[in-house]
Amino acid sequence: MDRTGALDKTLREIYAVISFPEGGEPNWEGMKTVFHPRARFTRITPEGIDYFDLESFQAMAMEMLDRGVYTSFYEEETARRTHVFGSLAHVLSAYRTKRSPDASTSLANGVNSIQLLWENDSWLVLSLLWDEALPGDPPDLHQLFAAEVSCGESA
């Protein structure tokens, strides 16, 4: 598989391993194959910013499951902008969360900023940073994904 196909596969796997049916939980073993052992997760909320490694992310998610905050969870990508240079990739991935794949209403919308590293013939997620839109204020995806690249002045 070429790097582009491998990147698409990894991005699909990210959403697959964090989604789970009623009574389930994220695919923790699957996460270990998608995320680099030194991966970092950063969650932005109105209350503040939370930083996790894979172990502390799992602990936070399990606490939410134990408290019944989530009994099922499904996240799907709705748009993407990708930049690849050599062995690094940066992806802005808009998402929608729902209780199940066939749910008619969304729980939330937001954007994942994903940094990946090409290592041992595969893409591994090195960093996942996400922010959800505030209720009633969905992200303006046209503006987000149409943005031009700007550069500093040349010497």
- In order of their start, the domains of the chain are 3-138 (3.10.450.50)
Tokens encoding 116: 């990946």
CA nearest neighbour of 75 among 51, 43, 92, 99:
99
The rounded distance, in Å, linking the Cα atoms of 143 and 120 is 35
The residues pairing with 127 across neighbouring beta strands, listed in sequence order, are 40, 115
pTM of the model: 0.88
In the predicted model, residues of the chain with pLDDT beneath 50 are 155
The rounded distance, in Å, linking the Cα atoms of 131 and 12 is 19
Q: According to the model, what pLDDT value does residue 87 have?
A: 96
Q: According to the model, what pLDDT value does residue 30 have?
A: 97
The rounded distance, in Å, linking the Cα atoms of 121 and 1 is 9
**Beta strands 35-45 and 122-132, pairing class:** parallel
